[in-house]
Amino acid sequence: MQVLKNLFQVGGDLNGITFDQPGALWNDANSYVLKTAQGLILFDCGCGDTMEQIFANMRYWDLSPDDIRVCFLTHAHYDHAGGAHLLKERGVKFIAIGETADAVASGDERCCGYLYHKIFQPVTVDQLVVDSQRLTVLGVEIEVMHLPGHSRGCTAFLFNWEQKRVVISGDVIGTLLSGDFGWSGSIDFDKTMYTESLRRFAKVDTDLMLPGHGMIYFHKPRRRVEEALNSALMQWR
Ligand SMILES: [Zn+2]
């Protein structure tokens, strides 16, 4: 599905871009491709079982899987990063914050493989980033925003595209219902950190929010973050 010119959603079972198994809605997180003149940037890569579907979706848009140069990980959960080892074998370079790199390198409970009755295949992150860092990848300046809580490594990535400020937000907010926040069952879930992250994220204006699951927000995404903050403040005080 094309989101903006040269920006595509290529995976995600909640809205049926990929399909994992009957009844599954959260097995395969959203993955997105940014097409640059220097190659493709992927954001998250799904659980792994849907990799061929992701590739097929890409080919429909004339995006060759061989052109994926880098993949950013929003966090270590299986539905977002379970397929990373498959891309690694193809020479894709991974970029993530230290907490996520540490989790995916071990493949331990922080990656939640148990939740899907699967073994998380460990993977080494090639480039570590830190909060507030701006790095240029394939000619695109990408800003890193570390928003821990749903997991320790939760990170949003922001960039300008087609005169719009775009944020890849992972599971920092849930997007199935208004005002929802991400799943709170992770072994490294932290309520206090999460609330602080929502406070900080609620001050950031963007034009387009591409979340880890469900629908993309094309209008006033910050309001959704404010609603999630409100829910967190009500439920967690
Ligand atoms: Zn998650």
Residue 74 Cα to ligand 1 midpoint, Å, equals: 9
Residue 79 Cα to ligand 1 midpoint, Å, equals: 7
DSSP letters, the chain, are -EEETTEEEEE-TTTTSS--STT-SSSS--EEEEEETTEEEEE----STTHHHHHHHHHHTT--GGGEEEEE-S---HHHHTTHHHHHTTT-EEEEEHHHHHHHHHT-GGG-GGGGT-PPPP---SEEE-TT-EEEETTEEEEEEE--SSSTT-EEEEEEETTEEEEEEETSB--SSTT-B-----TT--HHHHHHHHHHHTT---SEEEESSSPPB-S-HHHHHHHHHHHHHHHH-
Residue 58 Cα to ligand 1 midpoint, Å, equals: 23
Residue 169 Cα to ligand 1 midpoint, Å, equals: 11
Residue 235 Cα to ligand 1 midpoint, Å, equals: 19
Position 179 scores a pLDDT of 65
The tens digit of pLDDT for each residue in 57-91 reads 999 999 999 999 999 999 999 999 999 999 999 99
The one-letter code for the residue type at 93 is K
Position 25 scores a pLDDT of 80
Position 209 scores a pLDDT of 96
Residue 155 Cα to ligand 1 midpoint, Å, equals: 11
Residue 112 Cα to ligand 1 midpoint, Å, equals: 9
Domain spans in the chain, listed from the N-terminal domain onward: 2-236
- Taking the domain 2-236, which CATH number applies? 3.60.15.10
Position 177 scores a pLDDT of 65
Residue 6 Cα to ligand 1 midpoint, Å, equals: 26
Residue 182 Cα to ligand 1 midpoint, Å, equals: 7
Could you tell me the two tokens for 24?
A: 């599954």
Residue 55 Cα to ligand 1 midpoint, Å, equals: 22
Position 185 scores a pLDDT of 86
Residue 149 Cα to ligand 1 midpoint, Å, equals: 10
Position 124 scores a pLDDT of 98
Low-confidence ranges of the chain (pLDDT < 70): 176-179
Residue 30 Cα to ligand 1 midpoint, Å, equals: 11
Residue 83 Cα to ligand 1 midpoint, Å, equals: 14
How far apart CA 90 and CA 195 sit, in angstroms, is 38
Position 17 scores a pLDDT of 92
Residue 154 Cα to ligand 1 midpoint, Å, equals: 8
Residue 37 Cα to ligand 1 midpoint, Å, equals: 31
